[in-house]
Amino acid sequence: MFTIRIVLQARMGSARRPGKTVADVAGRTLLERCLERLSAARALGAACVQEARWELVVATSKLSADDPIARIAARFGVGCVRGSENDVLARYLLAARDLDDTDIVVRATADNPLYCPDLTVRLIEHHLDSKCDYTGIAEALSPTVPEVLHVGALRGIAKAVDLDDYCREHVTPYVRQGRSTLDVELLPPRWCELDPSLRLTVDTPDDLTRMNALYETLLALTGGGHPSFWTLEQIYAAARALHAGSTAERNVVSAPAGRGRLKSAA
C-alpha cells in the first residue's frame, strides 16, 4: 500500500490581503472552506483508489502569527507541519519526510476554497496511470484542480543546483518551466471542462468579497447544501451569473447621462 498525501499550504502573511487565511467566507474561515473541499476529495479518493492511504495535512510556518492556522487544523482533525515561512518547498519536504519516493504528494494552496473533489481524484488517477513524475494544468495553476507529484520528484527538485528563491517559494515552477529532467505532463487549461476564465482564487480584498458572494449564492441555490458536495457545474453556473450581473451593473453605472431614461411628460 502506498500513500497519497494532500498537503495544503497556508500562512497568515499576504502582501495583498494580510490574514486572508482566517478571513470569513460565509460563516467559516477561508482555511476551513479549503479543508472542506479537500476532505471531500480525500474521502472520494479513498473509495476510488483503495490501494492507497489517503491523508490530508496543513503545512504552515513556525511563526507565531501562523498559530491560528495550526489551531484550525487541529480543530478540523487534520495534521499540521510547521517549517519555513518563505521556503515553501522545504515545508513540503517536511510534510513528506516519512514518505517513500514512490508515494504521492498533492499540492494545494489555501487561497482556493473551491477545489473540485471529483476532478482532484481524476487528476490523481490520471497521474498514476501515466506514471509521470508531475501532473498539473498548463499555463497557470488551476483554482479548482491541485498539482500532483511523486515524493521522489519533490526531493529531486530540492537538489537542483540552479534552484532560486522564487522556485523555493512557489514549489513547482522549476518543473512547470521545463527546467528539470523529470517526466512532466501539463494538461490543457480546459481539461475536463475546466474554465480558466473564471476567477475563483482569493488573493485580494475584492476576491474575498466575490468569494463571499459566490458562497452565499450557492448556499441559497442549494438550500443550504454543504459546500463539500457542490459540483463544478453548480459553481461555474453561479460564478458566471454573478459575473454577468456585475458586468451589467457596471454598464449601467458607466452609461452616458440620459441614455435609457424615460422622458418626463410636459
Angle at CA of residue 67, ends 230 and 39, nearest 5°: 25
The answer to whether residue 237 scores a pLDDT higher than 50 is yes
Distance CA 225, CA 29 (A): 18
Q: What does the pLDDT read at residue 48?
A: 96
**Choice among 7-11, 177-181, 222-226, 253-257 with the minimum mean pLDDT:** 253-257
Confidence of residue 13 (pLDDT cuts 50, 70, 90): confident
Window from 13-27, 86-100, 128-142, 203-217 with minimum mean pLDDT: 13-27
Residue 266, pLDDT > 50, answer no
CATH T-level assignment (fold) for domain 2-192: Spore Coat Polysaccharide Biosynthesis Protein SpsA; Chain A (3.90.550)
Q: Where are the domains of the chain?
A: 2-192, 205-254
Q: What is the mean pLDDT of the chain?
A: 91
The pLDDT value recorded for residue 76 is: 95
Return the pLDDT at 248. 52
Q: How high is the pLDDT of residue 134? A: 98
Cell (9 digits) for 190: 480546459
Q: How far apart, in whole angstroms, are the C-alpha atoms of residue 85 and residue 108?
A: 16
End-to-end CA distance of the chain: 84
DSSP 131: T
Half-sphere exposure in the Cβ direction for 105 (13 Å, CA)? 32
User: What digits encode the pLDDT tens for the residues 101-137?
Assistant: 999 999 999 999 999 999 999 999 999 999 999 999 9
User: CA 114 to CA 232: how far, in whole Å?
Assistant: 9
> What one-character-per-residue DSSP string does 199-259 give?
-----SHHHHHHHHHHHHHHHHHTTS--GGG--HHHHHHHHHHHHHHHHHHHHHHHSPTTT
Cell of 28: 467559516
What backbone phi and psi angles, to 5 degrees, belong to 47?
-80, -30
> What is the amino acid identity at position 265?
A
Query: pTM to 2 decimals?
Result: 0.90
3-state SS class at 260: coil
Which pairs from 62-68 meet CB under 8 Å and 24+ separation?
A: 63/11, 63/12, 63/13, 65/12, 65/13, 66/10, 66/11, 66/12, 68/12, 68/21, 68/22
**pLDDT, position 245:** 79
Gap between the Cα atoms of 226 and 218, Å rounded: 10
* Band of residue 255 on the pLDDT scale cut at 50, 70, 90: very low
